[in-house]
Amino acid sequence: MAVLPPEQITSIRELVSFRARPATIAQLVPHQYAEIAARRMYETSDLRAPGGTQPSCKQVVLMYRSLTYRANLNSLYTQFSDLRSAGVAFESALVVVYRLYRRKTAFGTDEKQLISFDHWYVVALEIETRESRLHRCASCGSRNLLTKHISVTSIDCVFCDLLATANRKAAPKVDAAPPRPAKAA
């Protein structure tokens, strides 16, 4: 087997740390032995390589029903779009944005609650093929992710939802008992 260049080994190692599927790694690292190297890295790190097929767009839509996932995907998407508009290569933008996401959210968060790298990869591919896009909210002006499975009328703005949720939690309880008068000493 040929030796991979050090920068590709570093890329594979980082993608393994993100728990990317070996097939996804092979698509992102331009070397014929990238998938084999990824499988070996999983074996030597005592991690089980994620299996199965690449997540479908429909799985991303199911995730999108959760306000937390929607906010995180919007953030990833916006940062990714900005990097791509600035001329950053697809693979680099994909990894940089996900690395920042993991740094911000991974501490103290269950791995199952995070957006997986493979799900993010599917969304990023849709961005590249223009199957997904950003739509500006008429109320707050934020940009919201819309996939080919989600229409503007079928989903509310993530940030307006977050604001409404925060306002509901901060609002005083109407049916709460009035405070008792202080006892005279």
Residue 2 has pLDDT above 80, yes or no: no
pLDDT score, position 72: 82
Strand partners, 144: 135
pLDDT score, position 1: 41
State the average pLDDT over residues 117-127: 84
Per residue in 99-113, pLDDT (tens digit) is 999 888 766 666 667
Buried/exposed code over 26-58 (b: 16+ C-beta within 10 A; e: otherwise): bbbbebebbbebbebbbeeeeeebeeeeebebe
pLDDT score, position 98: 93
Per residue in 8-36, pLDDT (tens digit) is 888 888 888 888 888 888 888 888 888 88
Residue 118 has pLDDT above 80, yes or no: yes
> Full-prediction pTM beyond 0.85?
no
SS3 109: coil
Mean pLDDT across the chain: 77
Q: How many CA atoms lie within 13 A of 2 on its CB side?
A: 9
pLDDT score, position 137: 79
Instruction: Tell me, letter by letter, the H, E, C secondary structure of 22-48.
Output: HHHHHHHCCCCCHHHHHHHHHHHCCCC
Quote the strand ranges of the chain, DSSP E. 133-136, 143-146
Amino acid identity of 122?
A: V
Crossing angle of the two packed helices 117-128 and 67-85, in degrees rounded to 10: 50
